[in-house]
Amino acid sequence: MDPSHSKRAAILEAARALHMESAGSGSPARLIGQLCDERLNSDELAVRIEAHPVLCARVLQVANSPYYGQAGSVASIKRALLLLGINAVRGIAAAACIRQFIPQRGIALPDSGAFMMHSLATAVACDRLAHVGASALAPEAFIAGLIHNLGTVIQAAVDPTGTTALMAARSASPAQDLRTVELEHCQSGHESCAAVLFDAWNLPASLTVSAQHHHAPEAAPIPYRRLAGLVWAGSHLALCCQFTYSLEPQAPARDDSRLRALGFNPDQLDVVTAELVGRVESLNRALV
């Protein structure tokens, strides 16, 4: 259900307070919108990134890291685009921007580092799943996984008391469905918060809808259902590999039945999970 006008206003006000609403040409939020613009070609992306020296340096740092195995051979954004491809460079830049959004204090979410690691692990898992079994989703996979949970940050700012109660309930009974417990304690669901935020960012509908339905991809509109399913799968594998945080405190057993229903077979899942922890830790070191 779409949030009411008053809830939508509260979500956007929280986004402004956290500097997560587009405010200027150089803001991280504006950059995220530009990075997700499907019309952007390689030359235009290079110009956008090079216009922000800090972001440019971070992208080159990651591009030259062991994660991509380039060993210092990437001296420019155009070179990074040539060697790594536009999707990888967009993902690196988006991850660097997202890190600026995650508050270290001042909201109810206490473990921002673990939250960021879960988001990064979901992005890497989505990217790998797309490559082994859903190639049509590869252009959006990494960013869709990376940003899927940003609504949680907004939720914690809009309703710190409810979020604190939600965390206590999740800690006491982590096997319960998150969205069900969320409705008992919080003014707005984290998926709804993400949808409002991404709509304000003018992100592609596919990214907004996949975040809005990442806990129940089967309910997503048909054109976006596969991407929402990929995000659920990526998040699930991240949790299975111990990338948990305060609202998802328990590592579940891998749900091969549901993953198979979403189009992924156990052999593909084994490949992704076997390398996930190492790849996430390598990428995180490169981003710091």
Average pLDDT over residues 127-152: 94
CA Rg value for the chain: 18
Three-class secondary structure assignment of 85-102: CHHHHHHHHHHHHHHHHC
pLDDT at residue 160 greater than cutoff 70: yes
Q: What H or E segment, with its residue span, contains residue 275? A: helix 266-287
DSSP 155-210: HHHH-HHHHHHHHHHHHH-TTS-HHHHHHHH-SS-HHHHHHHHHHHTT--HHHHHH
**What is the per-residue pLDDT across 66-121, written as a single tens digit (0 to 9) for each?**
998 877 789 999 999 999 999 999 999 999 988 877 776 667 788 989 999 999 99
Confidence bin at 2 (pLDDT 50/70/90) = low
What is the set of domains in the chain, with CATH numbers?
5-287 (1.10.3210.10)
Average pLDDT over residues 139-168: 95
pLDDT at residue 23 greater than cutoff 80: no
Q: What H or E segment, with its residue span, contains residue 122? A: helix 112-133
Average pLDDT over residues 213-235: 97
Distances (CA, A) of 80 to 65, 68, 178, 185, 271: 12, 10, 39, 45, 26
pLDDT at residue 5 greater than cutoff 80: yes
Mean pLDDT taken over the chain: 91
128 CB-contact burial (10 Å; exposed 0-12 / middle 13-18 / buried 19+): buried
Backbone φ and ψ for 167, nearest 5 degrees, come out as -60, -40
User: What does the DSSP 8-state code read for residue 136?
Assistant: G
Residue listed under structure tokens 């150089």: 26
Residues of the chain above pLDDT 90, percent: 77
pTM confidence score: 0.94
The gap between the terminal CA atoms of the chain, to the nearest Å, is 38
- Closest-CA residue to 166 (of 145, 139, 186): 186
pLDDT at residue 25 greater than cutoff 70: no
**What is the per-residue pLDDT across 188-207, written as a single tens digit (0 to 9) for each?**
999 999 999 999 888 999 99
Average pLDDT over residues 239-243: 98
pLDDT at residue 1 greater than cutoff 60: no
3-class DSSP state of 126: helix
